[in-house]
Amino acid sequence: MSDYYQGKTAIITGGASGVGRSIAFGLGRAGANVVIGDVDTNAMAAVTADLAAEQISHRIEHCDVTSAESLQALLDAALETFNEVDIVFANAGIGAGEAGPIWGFSEKDWQWCFNVNLWGAVNSINVFMPYLVTRPDRTHIVITGSGNGAYMVLPDVPIYTATKAAVHSITENLHYQVQMGGLPVVVSALFPGPHVVETGLFNSGRVRPEEFDKGVSGNETGINSVEDMKRMAEEYGFDLKTTHPDEVAEMALAGLPNGDFWLLAHTDESKAKIQRRADMIINKTTPIPESVG
Ligand SMILES: NC(=O)c1ccc[n+]([C@@H]2O[C@H](COP(=O)([O-])OP(=O)(O)OC[C@H]3O[C@@H](n4cnc5c(N)ncnc54)[C@H](O)[C@@H]3O)[C@@H](O)[C@H]2O)c1
């Protein structure tokens, strides 16, 4: 990685907490300017103070990725302060907290999750790509997907999985277009992991807008944190492994200088799951669910 990030400017959506926050610190410590767009005002205040304490050059803006105008304002703010933008992390995402049979899900869950996870990625591509392709130097757009959707279908969160399946198709297509066009933008697909990452994703309800309120407080699953997941896993007799978001940031930032498309940490277990899925499709065997852990 060495001095690759020195003096570069990066925009990170959803950078006030979790994976995005760790990426912001990883970049900042490597000498980059960081611009964060997020909707969680408490987390934004905390990250502002913490970045300042480390003397990391930053700008934090309220930005809702479901709005292209809001993303455009974020880009304008970044350019106003730092003149250029070299790297974009389209990272904001939520878990809708869906539970029970698919046919019983609240439409509000479908709409909110597609709005943030899918439209957030589409809006980010629409706003940032026209700028990035004008830069003479190599630039990056990193889109946060999920293995759950991109290359496997974990049971129990079908809305989330569907959004991330769509996000991955779009990311891979963007890569092909950029490659075929000979454009100097590196497209990367970031997969936080290899295990469940210790972030606020399971408590996304904290930023659920009023228009998507479904009249339930907390998640119907009863899982509102990684700790809840661990407890539930214990009840089912297995030990849920987790990953710290700093590890995800480290993995992602190690991949960009090489121009890697797959920012993905494998384990023997995750490779076996992908292998089983490929075998199942080739052999046309009946799908059986894989476990989250
Ligand atoms: N945690 C995991 O295990 C895991 C696994 C695979 C993928 N991911 C993906 O990683 C990304 C980051 O999530 P995380 O796990 O760090 O969770 P997180 O909740 O800690 O961080 C997500 C951030 O996105 C922000 N956000 C939510 N809605 C927004 C909106 N409309 N506009 C702007 N910002 C918004 C939140 O305020 C939060 O700061 C997401 O795309 C998520 O789907 C996470």
Q: How far is the CA of 195 from the centre of ligand 1 (A)?
A: 15
Cα(18) to centroid(ligand 1), Å: 7
The preferred substitution site among 11, 19, 171 for testing ligand 1, maximizing ligand atoms within 8 Å of CB, is 19
pLDDT of res. 219: 73
* Atom number of ligand 1 nearest to Cα 144: 41
- The stretch 37-52 carries a mean pLDDT of 98
Q: Which residues does a 6 A CB cutoff place in the pocket of ligand 1?
A: 13-14, 16-20, 37-40, 43, 63-66, 91-94, 116, 144, 146, 192-193, 196-197, 199-201, 204, 207
Amino acid at 233: A
For 246-265, how does the pLDDT look when each residue is reduced to its tens digit (9 = 90+)?
Answer: 999 999 999 999 999 999 99
pLDDT in tens, 203-212: 999 999 999 9
Global pTM reads: 0.98
Mutate to test the pocket of ligand 1, among 11, 17, 226 (most ligand atoms within 8 A of CB): 17
CA 24 – CA 250 distance, rounded (Å): 11
Q: How far is the CA of 117 from the centre of ligand 1 (A)?
A: 9
So what's the pLDDT on residue 1?
59
Q: What whole-number percentage of the chain has pLDDT above 90?
A: 89
Ligand 1 pocket: which of 199, 240, 242 to mutate (most atoms <8 Å of CB)?
199
Could you tell me the distance, in angstroms and rounded to a whole number, from the CA of residue 182 to the centre of ligand 1? 31
* Cα–ligand 1 centroid distance for 9 (angstroms): 21
CA 224 / ligand 1 centre spacing (Å): 14
- At residue 73, the pLDDT reads 99
- Exposure string over 230-266, b if 16+ CB within 10 A, otherwise e: beebeeeeeebebbebbbbbbbbbebbeeebeebbbe
DSSP states of 75-126 = HHHHHHHHS---EEEE---------S-GGG--HHHHHHHIIIIIIHHHHHHH
Give yes or no for residue 58 having a pLDDT over 70.
yes
Phi-psi region at 191: left, alpha or beta (left = phi > 0; alpha = psi -120 to 50): beta
Architecture of domain 9-283: 3-Layer(aba) Sandwich (3.40)
Centre of ligand 1 from the C-alpha of residue 180, in Å? 31
pLDDT at 220 over 80: no
> pLDDT tens digit string along 78-117?
999 999 999 999 999 999 988 889 999 999 999 999 999 9
